[in-house]
Amino acid sequence: MQVRYVNIKDIESISRLYKIAFDRSYLSVHYSIELLNKYFELLIHHNKYCYVAEFEGRTTGFLIGGFKTHEAVNEFLDKHRKKVFFYALLSPRILLTRLSKLLCSLLKKSPVSKESLRLFIIAVHPDFMNKGLGKQLVLRFEDDIKNDGFNSYGLFVRADNLNALEFYNKRGFICEFKSYNQYSYIKYIQN
pLDDT above 80 for 100: no
Lowest mean pLDDT among 20-24, 54-58, 97-101: 97-101
How confident is the model over 164-181, as a mean pLDDT? 91
Number of domains, the chain: 1
CATH number at residue 159: 3.40.630.30
Rounded to whole angstroms, the Cα distance separating 147 from 141 reads: 10
Is pTM beyond 0.85? Reply is: yes
146-166 tens-digit pLDDT: 999 999 999 999 998 999 999
CB 121 within 8 A of CB 63: yes
pLDDT above 60 for 11: yes
CB 164 within 8 A of CB 176: no
Rounded to whole angstroms, the Cα distance separating 171 from 8 reads: 30
Residues 6 or more apart whose CB falls under 8 angstroms from that of 12 comprise 33, 37
Domain that holds residue 125: 2-188
103-143 tens-digit pLDDT: 655 666 677 888 999 999 999 999 999 899 999 999 999 99
39-92 tens-digit pLDDT: 999 999 999 999 999 999 899 999 999 999 999 999 999 999 999 888 887 776
Residue 97 has a pLDDT of: 64
Residue 99 has a pLDDT of: 62
